[in-house]
Structure 1
Amino acid sequence: MTDAFRHYDPPSVGDHLRNAQGMTRALMLEIIDKACRRFPSLGQSERTGRLMRLIDAEAWTDAALALMELELPLWHVRRIAYDEGEWHCALSRERELPDWLDAAVEGCHGDLAIALMAAFVEVKALAAESSRPSVPTVPPAPDPLVEAAACENFS
């Protein structure tokens, strides 16, 4: 894993989201602290300033969408639905595909902002699990105790 994700613990962040009654400033800042790589590196740019103003104003849904736009530029909201007291939010990289072909990541909760953040945390967990180097790996060095022997008969 990369250094940025060493302190990232998806189950604990996911548990905090599932157990939360509603979004709070502390919870949003915890998600930013534990799951976001781009936010700290951007410093005080216009986008991070806007996000902080949304958090200060307690505009949780707008803040969640702004954070997703900042941290997951290739992902888009595919679906937001309210069913039987819960919000269901799906994020996708290919939202133009039919549902049955798309590998969307979904989050659900009674609070819309938390449902959005649950899907966001799931995507970040997938990214942390699948982070691989861009170059192929080298096979390990041969064992010095094993010696290759030729068994061919050339006669």
Structure 2
Amino acid sequence: MKIAIGSDHAGYLLKEKIKDFLLSKGCQVVDVGTNSTASTDYPIFAREVALAVQRGEVQQGILICGTGIGMCITANKFKGVYAALCTNEYMAKVSRQHNNANILCLGGRVLGDALAISIVEAWLSADFEGGRHERRVSLIKSMEEDSKP
């Protein structure tokens, strides 16, 4: 699996740990930055990951900022991107199973490293269930189309 990952300064240290975890699981990782704890703007990195997912260059993405909220808001501005902010394994699992989320957002200042890795593992191991959830995801997609100016 090919996964894009990005963070701002507040998520940088956790991004590096998650990147190492993904590589140890045999994933291909596209790191769009940032590359230090120097202050930067999260929308820059959310955009790069969202575009990689939108264009089909990667199957999934992971974004990390201080809380994950800013990354999630930004990523969800892109058509075909369904970003989910998850703070536990259950949320991660159902964001894939029920919502077909293709980007996982995490908070580097609110999650410990072990919990964050466990969330990533739960998210990666879950698949979209379809069925009744397909109807709901289709409604979201049609609303996305309706929102065009």
Give TM-score, length-normalised by structure 1. Answer: 0.29
TM-score normalised to structure 2 length:
0.29
Structure whose alpha-carbon radius of gyration is higher: 1
